[in-house]
Structure 1
Amino acid sequence: MTHPTSLISPEQLATMLGQPSLRLYDCTTYLEPAPQGSSDPYLVVPGDKTFEAGHIPGADFLDLQGEFSDASTHLRFMMPAIAQLETAFGRHGLDASSTIVLYSIGSMMWATRFWWMLRSLGVDALVLDGGFDKWKAEGRPIEQGAPSGYPATTFKAALRQGFFVDKSAVLARIDDPASVTVNALGPQFHRGLEPSRYGRSGRIPGSVNVPAATLVNGADKTLTTLADAEAKFAAQGITRDKDVICYCGGGISATIDLFLLAQLGYDRLTLYDGSMGEWARDSELPIETG
């Protein structure tokens, strides 16, 4: 399999521009340092300004924290009520009958987060390999200005169960031999060798480490090959006969791991949405270092 079924290349996307059924979305968010003394680990800045400076022609912009996350919690990027998502996606003209392509700037993780969310709602989408960075590097057409948007639709979710779990489910699986919990953060954070911006340093006990950064090619920001990804997962004891729980800091970079696992045919996958943003701050939850 040269290209996973949910992945689309810039070359392939270029042939689709202008098609009436195409719904193309820039999903970019930026994480900036929080002011000194702030209780937040970072500031969430939507990528609307960089969208206006340059985007793939015809694209719309999706604000993950502003429109598609639960605003009632201090945790960032948490899945909100289904009704909120139906309203927001419908407002942006998205429905299952369209060809949906997602991309982001700097990292594909913002696009794969939306891919995972949509998948949980019963909608399959495509993710642009290398995102806007690769598109721009290849000299492909770029448009400037605010999004024109798409005609609104009535979005109705067909909810698929098991895509998200909470801390109690993760805690219950710590010593379960039928499960494996995967940390997508860097090894220095997994081992607790560096201070964590989320709270206590370390990892969920028993979890293994497949950093999302090791699944991406640094030169052009594309995903690694399926063979390389398979080898990295296998080296950590991640097999198709186990339930796989992925986590990171805020439930974003872990979707890179989930995306590749899904393309490899793993189907017992879930995301701990609260991730270390929740776990590290809860002193009643166990944590492991070393």
Structure 2
Amino acid sequence: MNGTFGTLISAAELADQADANWRLFDCRFDLRNRRYGRDAYASGHLPGAVYLDLEEDLSGPLSGLNGRHPLPDPQLLAAKLGSLGVTTGTQVVAYDDAGGMFAARLWWLLRWLGHPTVALLDGGIQAWASSGRALSQDVPALTARVFSPRLQPALHVDATYVHGHLDDPALCLIDARAPDRFRGENETLDPVGGHIPGAINRFFRDNLGPDGLFKPAAQLQEEFGTLIKGGDAHRVIHQCGSGVTACHNILAMEVAGLTDSRLYAGSWSEWCADPARPVATGPG
């Protein structure tokens, strides 16, 4: 297969490639059952895929004030990926079984490390299996390589930045959580319900069609264009509960051609850990 993939790749496109230098990562996870992803991987995964754990591999240590899934140390993450065969130019494909909910985190992290050749498998493992393609229980033996990150700090902001721009009319803060949690209802993951004042809600699952695939680029462009009122995508800051599903909205905007929006990685779980920060409830 010629060319590279930087946003989405279909099951058919992935099946067509025969490049041994590609690296596939299984990112399945369950916030309420931390063994789920590893057990699911052991039961069957895409041939050649290696498992990466959201909390052990794709997040950093918790301090109690930095959210539920803080960003990992970039050098440690780069070393981990290098040990699994990723190097400059390697085409990486991430997948899960939750519409890209967790795989999008790896997609964003690699871009943060300066590695643009990373794509999310559209439709996840279901799209692969439903087309009759085989799964494997083999754990591949991969040759370690050197992965030197080229960190892109401009891709994310911190709580101080968000707090300092709450009154800036140019800021567009998009919350990817489910509408009830955004309103402050049915909060089961974080100790405080509500949202950051001024945020607007775009549930990440609204990026998907009934078939579980991402909506067409033109449709996403129209929907996000309406949401940001034609504003500069670079002024869009994405957040969610802990900086995971917000990456799904960033990916959807990239698919739509609305590039360079940014992530507030600490998100609501970090924001609400400080009682001095303001909280809003209701529809926004």
1:172 maps to amino acid: G
* Partner of residue 231 from structure 1, selected from 206, 222, 233: 222
For residues 242 and 254 of structure 2, the distance between their equivalents in structure 1, rounded to whole angstroms, comes to 20
What does residue 147 of structure 2 align with?
155
What does residue 15 of structure 2 align with?
14
Alignment of 1:220 with 2:211, yes or no, is yes
For residues 121 and 205 of structure 1, the distance between their equivalents in structure 2, rounded to whole angstroms, comes to 30
For residues 93 and 63 of structure 2, the distance between their equivalents in structure 1, rounded to whole angstroms, comes to 29
The CA RMSD over aligned residues, in Å, is 1.9
Q: Give the unaligned 5+ runs of structure 2.
A: none
* CA drift at 1:72: 4.4
* CA drift at 1:227: 2.4
* CA drift at 1:267: 2.9
Alignment of 1:19-98 (within 5 A): 19-32=19-32, 44-45=34-35, 47-74=37-64, 75-98=67-90
* CA drift at 1:238: 4.7
TM-score, reference length from structure 1: 0.88
* Partner of residue 194 from structure 1, selected from 182, 186, 192: 186
* CA drift at 1:46: 5.8
* CA drift at 1:205: 0.4
2:201 maps to amino acid: N
Change (3 A) 1:76 1:46: farther
Structure 1 consecutive aligned stretches of length 4 or more whose deviation exceeds 4 Å: none
Asked whether the equivalents of residues 104 and 131 of structure 1 are also in contact (C-alpha less than 8 Å), the reply is yes
Q: Aligned with 1:98: secondary structure? A: coil
For residues 232 and 149 of structure 1, the distance between their equivalents in structure 2, rounded to whole angstroms, comes to 43
Asked whether the equivalents of residues 68 and 84 of structure 1 are also in contact (C-alpha less than 8 Å), the reply is no
Overall identity of the aligned pairs, in %: 31
What does residue 134 of structure 2 align with?
141
Change (3 A) 1:45 1:280: farther
Asked whether the equivalents of residues 243 and 264 of structure 2 are also in contact (C-alpha less than 8 Å), the reply is yes
What does residue 35 of structure 1 align with?
none
Alignment of 1:289 with 2:275, yes or no, is no
Change (3 A) 1:88 1:76: farther
Alignment of 1:99-110 (within 5 A): 99-110=91-102
Asked whether the equivalents of residues 202 and 287 of structure 1 are also in contact (C-alpha less than 8 Å), the reply is yes
Q: Aligned with 2:31: secondary structure? A: strand
For residues 47 and 270 of structure 1, the distance between their equivalents in structure 2, rounded to whole angstroms, comes to 27
Which is further off, 275-284 or 245-254? 275-284
CA-to-aligned-CA distance 1:35-59 (integer Å, 9 cap, x gap): xxxxxxxx64461211111111111
Alignment size in residue pairs? 274
* CA drift at 1:164: 1.9
